[in-house]
Amino acid sequence: MMSENWRKIPEIVRDVRSGAVSAVENVERALAVAECCKNYNIFVSITKERALQRATEIDQKVKAGVAVGELAGVPYVLKDNFLDFGAKTTASAKMLEGFVAPLQATAVKKLEAAGAICIGKSNLDAFAHGGSTENSFFGVTKNSKDTRRVAGGSSGGSAVAVALGVAPFALGTDTGGSIRQPAAFNGVIGVKPTFGSVSRFGVVAMASSTDTIGCFATNAFDARLVMNVMSGKDSWDSTTIDNDFMRHTSRKLRIGVILDFMTDDVDREVLTIVEKYVKKLDKKGYDVKTIKMSTLKYALPVYYVVVPAEVASNLARYDGIRYGHRARVAKTLPEIYGHSRDEGFMPENKRRVLIGNFVLSSGFFDAYYLKAQKVRTLIIEEYRKAFAKFDVLLCPTTPTPAFKIGEKTDDPVKMYLEDVMTVPPSLAGLPAVSVPAGRTKSGLDVGVQLIGARGSDAVILTLAEQMEDYGEQ
């Protein structure tokens, strides 16, 4: 079931400001579609009461002639690893089952200040560890085009919510592809910004050197607008930077197609769809050439050394003592630690903790973690050289369309290989966006990934917007 498409966000806001459509009506519509889509397992919780209360407040301001923000009355869906009021924050993990947040994430605060209204918390792989939303304590989220297939992950619930028309936009987090991959699998825009563009304060941490906050939308302009509202420096997150997502560029863009990801290892239909997108770029007058990047083949093994190390560090806080799940059978302190973590973590969480602790351990740190960080520097340097020649780099977002539920759960390596194209920009802290490029013969969505130099988020989103307009002609 798919709802009638929402109009672009500025049009929704214009109607709310004029009184033509109330914020309450928008929220009620979103809640009704969410109810109709229950079979997809999009939501961990629905924030109906708070959403209607906030919508009523916005409508009252409009009637009183008080100015309302640039997202006034726009419903949205929030990935359940953001701390917010109105629902528990679980990160889809038993470890945080029942956790009530004492504060709101900075990104949520900024959206609320602009008038956006959260209608529910979406499902994800527990602690955002995974690429299919099969690793959730609350069950698997189903693909928007084929319920036998995965939604992608870890932000699967948010991607499906936008694809099915529950809300005009949704928030996600992207550490190695957790926004871009589900966006590709569900035919929506998925934005991973330059590292530090949006504050991570109040978001459950996964890997602190690559975690980013982004969004899903049905069109590039809405994505730009949402990202611009959330972006900027935050005293609670020292990694944050200023970044203007609404900036436009009129110069002729130089686009490099990454040949390393256009090989026989990629699904044939995916390659054909991406090649058609490249031809459209050429037809529209962009300067399109190819580029080989020899270090990118090392990105995936580097990622699965560096990120588990940071995961192990970040998950160390869940000890059954301070907060989170505590095992009832435990009697001694070591038993509390052991049983609580065993019961509270999903298998993929445990796998990453074990890998992370191994590569950080004495005798293996130099052989694995230190070497991985050195190769990461080489990858960053190769991107720097590439962006001296090109404004945007292009490749498929994923090597395959959405795979069947259960198809890769018994083989972690096969699952990790789905990240092969999204991981490199994450390691380098670069902005990247997945844009819908077409569908396979069986109706599955395929995405193209546009990658920009650090801080050039507006450039790749401008390109995405221009290609949307071109495609409509």
Report pLDDT digits (tens) over 371-406: 999 999 999 999 999 999 999 999 999 999 999 999
Report pLDDT digits (tens) over 185-237: 999 999 999 999 999 999 999 999 999 999 999 999 999 999 999 999 999 99
CA-to-CA distance for 75 and 400, rounded, in angstroms? 32
Q: In this structure, what token pair is assigned to residue 227?
A: 């990202």
pLDDT at 23: 98
Average pLDDT over residues 129-151: 98
CA-to-CA distance for 172 and 91, rounded, in angstroms? 12
Asked if 222 and 322 touch (Cβ cutoff 8 Å), the reply is no
Average pLDDT over residues 401-423: 95
Asked if 149 and 160 touch (Cβ cutoff 8 Å), the reply is no
Asked if 191 and 443 touch (Cβ cutoff 8 Å), the reply is no
Report pLDDT digits (tens) over 331-348: 899 999 999 999 999 999
Q: Among 280, 197, 176, which Cα is nearest to 242's?
A: 197
Residue type, 296: L
Asked if 78 and 120 touch (Cβ cutoff 8 Å), the reply is yes
CA distances 339 to 137, 211, 327, Å, are: 17, 28, 6
Catalytic residue positions, numbered: 79, 154, 178
The residues facing 196 across adjacent strands are none
Q: What is the set of domains in the chain, with CATH numbers?
A: 1-473 (3.90.1300.10)
Taking the complete model, does pTM exceed 0.85, yes or no?
yes
Q: In this structure, what token pair is assigned to residue 152?
A: 């992608």
Report pLDDT digits (tens) over 14-64: 999 999 999 999 999 999 999 999 999 999 999 999 999 999 999 999 999
Q: Among 383, 397, 431, which Cα is nearest to 197's?
A: 431
